């Protein structure tokens, strides 16, 4: 299997979401040009992405939705189940927990963290919320590999440092701050204000 780029991974995860929707609607097969149109990509790029993950199907008579989904899931979920922690259980953190939990069989929100005494030691959306001071201990105990940070800007770097020290190798950061992490930690920054500003710019200049 060849090296797969970040952009390809993004597209492949999007293909899976589309295919899950189609499967739920009873669709049994799909052509590369249809998947390209639904994902905003190009047919050649779709075929190249699927070849890069080792999919052995043929696009001549259309891809079998169920088989293609299985192939994508084997690639994306390889290595087994991913345990996730969310740090910061305000409106955003709670919304993310509710959205993710139960949507993927290989992904589980295993713990929530906050310092608000009203939230600590409560079960929120079926998930235990721990005090942030317990973060390192709980991450190790529950074998958590990925963390989502939704704390205020001034607290984000300190939280990231604790997560990295506890062995976390993947961070999705919603704090409006570029976090500093070691090279072996993959980090994705999601600054919503910047995203809105970008959309606002293009909405005015199209």
Residuewise pLDDT in 10s, the chain (206 residues): 457 888 899 999 999 999 999 999 999 999 999 999 999 999 999 999 998 888 866 667 788 999 999 999 888 887 678 899 999 999 999 999 988 887 777 888 999 999 999 999 999 999 999 999 999 999 999 999 999 999 999 999 999 999 999 999 999 999 988 999 999 999 999 888 888 888 888 888 86
Q: What is the pTM of this model?
A: 0.80
Question: 3-state DSSP helix/strand/coil percent for the chain, to nearest 5?
Answer: 45, 20, 35
Return the bridge partners of 131, or none: 114
Q: Contact at 8 Å (CB) between 49 and 10? A: no
Local structure of 192: helix, strand or coil: helix
Phi, psi values for residue 76, rounded to 5°: -65, -40
Domains of the chain, CATH where assigned: 6-76 (1.10.10.10), 82-192 (3.40.50.720)
Per-residue HEC secondary structure of 77-137 comes to CCCCCEEEEEECCCHHHHHHHHHHCCCCCCEEEEEEEECCCCCCCCEECCEEEEEHHHHHH
CA distance 88 to 133: 12
């Amino acid at each position: 299997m060849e090296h797969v780029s970040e952009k390809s991974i993004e597209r492949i995860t999007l293909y899976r979401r589309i295919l899950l929707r189609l499967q739920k609607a009873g669709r049994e097969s799909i052509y590369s040009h249809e998947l390209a149109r639904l994902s905003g990509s190009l047919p050649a790029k779709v075929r190249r992405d699927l070849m890069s993950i080792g999919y052995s199907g043929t696009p001549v008579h259309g891809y079998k939705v169920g088989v293609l989904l299985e192939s994508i899931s084997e690639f994306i979920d390889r290595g087994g189940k991913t345990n996730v922690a969310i740090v910061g259980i305000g409106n955003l953190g709670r919304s993310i927990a509710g959205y993710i939990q139960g949507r993927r069989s290989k992904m589980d929100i295993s713990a929530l963290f906050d310092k608000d005494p009203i939230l600590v030691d409560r079960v929120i959306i079926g998930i235990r919320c721990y005090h942030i001071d317990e973060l390192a201990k709980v991450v190790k105990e529950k074998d958590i590999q990925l963390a989502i940070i939704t704390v205020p800007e001034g607290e984000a770097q300190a939280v990231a440092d604790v997560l990295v020290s506890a062995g976390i190798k993947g961070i999705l950061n919603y704090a409006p701050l570029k976090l500093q992490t070691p090279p072996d930690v993959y980090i994705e920054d999601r600054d919503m204000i910047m995203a809105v500003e970008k959309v606002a710019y293009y909405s005015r200049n199209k």
